[in-house]
Amino acid sequence: MSPTLRAHLFFVLISLSLKMGLSRYVEDINSSDGLYSLLSMEKKRDSEDFVYRRPLRCMDMLATDGHFTFVASRPQLACATFIIAEPSEVISLELSDVSIDCSAGDFIKTFDGWVLKGEKFPSSEDHQLPVRQRYRDFCSNPETETTSRSSQNVAMVFFRLQTPGSGFTLSVKKLHNLFPCNIMSQNPEGDFTMVIPHQRRNCSFSIIYPVEIKLTGLSLGEAKRNDLIPQKQLWSGCSGSGDYVELLGGNGVDTSRMYPVADLCYSLRGLAQMKIGCDNSVVRLVSSGNYINQVSFQYRLLDHHELPKSQENSLDNFCTVE
C-alpha cells in the first residue's frame, strides 16, 4: 500500500479513536521522524535472517512483520495498536520482555479483530468466537497469555502502563490463510474472491472508502436466477434463503449495524454493479453450510464528482447508493 493510502487509513483510525476516549493519550506524531516513517512499509528485508525492529507508539498501526518495543516515558493510560495484514493472511502476536505492574492497574490485552467507536470488526454475527474469547489478557495469566493468533487479517493490542520505564516487546508475524474470511481492505481498489466451503458462517470484505463494487461471479449451491435486489425497493430480500450475498454501507465497522444496500441469492454469471457512497462499503457472504459458496468482485474508489450529496432528514444523509 502506498504511503498516501496508508496515511488515509491511519487518519481514519485516528479520527475514530478520538471518539473512543483515546485522544488525550495519543503521543505526538509530529516528531522528527515524521508521520510517513510511521506509515511506510518500514523497510524491506535484505535477507531471510533480517528481522525488522522499531519502537512502538502509544497510538500505532503496523502492517509488517517485526519486533516492536514500547517503553513508557510517562504514564500512558489508553494506548492502542492496530495491526493489518494482506487479505489472504492472519496475524500471530507474541509478547516478550514484559515489565508491567498488573496489581497497580497496568494491562496488555490483545483482541481478535478491531474495535472502533465501540463497534467491533468482525461483528459478533460474523465471528465464530464469542466476544469474551476474542480478548486475551496478559495479566490474567502471564505464563500462558503471551501469544495469540487472529482469525482474519486484522488484530489489535490495548495497553495501559502507569510507571515510566515499564514496557514490553510485541512480535508480529503474518501467516497464510487458505480460506480468508472477514477481511479489512488496505486499498480502495482491487479484486477478490471469497469462498466458504461447506461451513455455516458469514464472511465480510470491508472497504473503508466510498466505492463502486462489481460482482463478477457468484456461486450459491442450487441457485437458479441472477436478480440483484436493491434493498431500498424490496426489504424482504434474500435473508430467508440461508445462502446469499449482500452489499452493505455505513459509517462504522460493525456489519450488523450497517445499512443493507442490495442482496443476491441466485448464481450470477454476468456483471452486477453498484456505487456505495459510504465511509465503509462491505461485500458480505452468508452460507448455510450446505454448499461451497463463492463470490468474486472488483471495487474502485469513487471519483469526487461521483460522491453523493447529503440529504437532510434521510438515511441518505450519511450514505447514498446507486
Q: For each of the chain's 322 residues, which pLDDT tens digit applies?
A: 545 545 555 555 555 454 444 433 333 333 334 333 444 444 444 445 678 999 999 999 999 999 999 999 999 999 999 999 999 999 999 999 999 999 999 999 999 999 988 899 999 999 999 999 999 999 998 888 899 999 999 999 999 999 999 999 999 999 999 999 999 998 999 999 999 999 999 999 999 999 999 999 999 875 444 445 454 443 456 767 789 999 999 989 999 999 998 888 877 666 788 899 888 999 999 999 999 999 999 999 998 877 766 554 344 444 655 5
268 with 158, same domain: the answer is: no
Does any domain span residue 26? no
- Which domain CATH number covers 214? 2.60.120.290
201 with 270, same domain: the answer is: yes
Does any domain span residue 95? yes
135 with 203, same domain: the answer is: no
**Rounded to whole angstroms, how far apart are CA atoms 228 and 218?**
11
58 with 164, same domain: the answer is: yes
132 with 194, same domain: the answer is: no
> Reduced to 3 states, what is the DSSP secondary structure of residue 199?
coil
> Reduced to 3 states, what is the DSSP secondary structure of residue 72?
coil
118 beta partners: none
Number of domains in the chain: 2
Contact 209, 232 (CB under 8 A): no
166 with 279, same domain: the answer is: no
Please give the pLDDT value at position 126.
94
Does any domain span residue 13? no
Please give the pLDDT value at position 10.
57
| Residue located via cell numbers 515524521 | 34
Does any domain span residue 268? yes
Does any domain span residue 31? no
Please give the pLDDT value at position 262.
87
165 with 57, same domain: the answer is: yes
One-letter amino acid for residue 193 of the chain: T
Does any domain span residue 35? no
172 with 257, same domain: the answer is: no
Please give the pLDDT value at position 270.
64
Please give the pLDDT value at position 315.
42
Q: How many CA atoms lie within 13 A of 157 on its CB side?
A: 34
Q: Which residues does 15 contact at the CB level (< 8 Å), separation at least 6?
A: none
Does any domain span residue 232? no
Could you tell me the residue range of the domain that residue 79 belongs to?
A: 53-176
Please give the pLDDT value at position 157.
98
Please give the pLDDT value at position 12.
57
203 with 146, same domain: the answer is: no
134 with 161, same domain: the answer is: yes
118 with 219, same domain: the answer is: no
Please give the pLDDT value at position 14.
55
214 with 144, same domain: the answer is: no
Please give the pLDDT value at position 154.
97
Q: In what order do the strands lie in the sheet with 211-219?
A: 190-197, 292-301, 211-219, 272-277, 320-321
Per-residue DSSP letter, 222: T
Rg, the chain, Cα only = 21
- Residue (of 102, 172, 173) closest to 142 by Cα position: 102
Per-residue DSSP letter, 58: S
The pTM is what? 0.80
Classify the C-alpha dihedral 182-188-190-191 as positive or negative. Answer: positive
Angle made by CA atoms 168, 93, 179, in degrees to the nearest 5? 165
Does any domain span residue 4? no
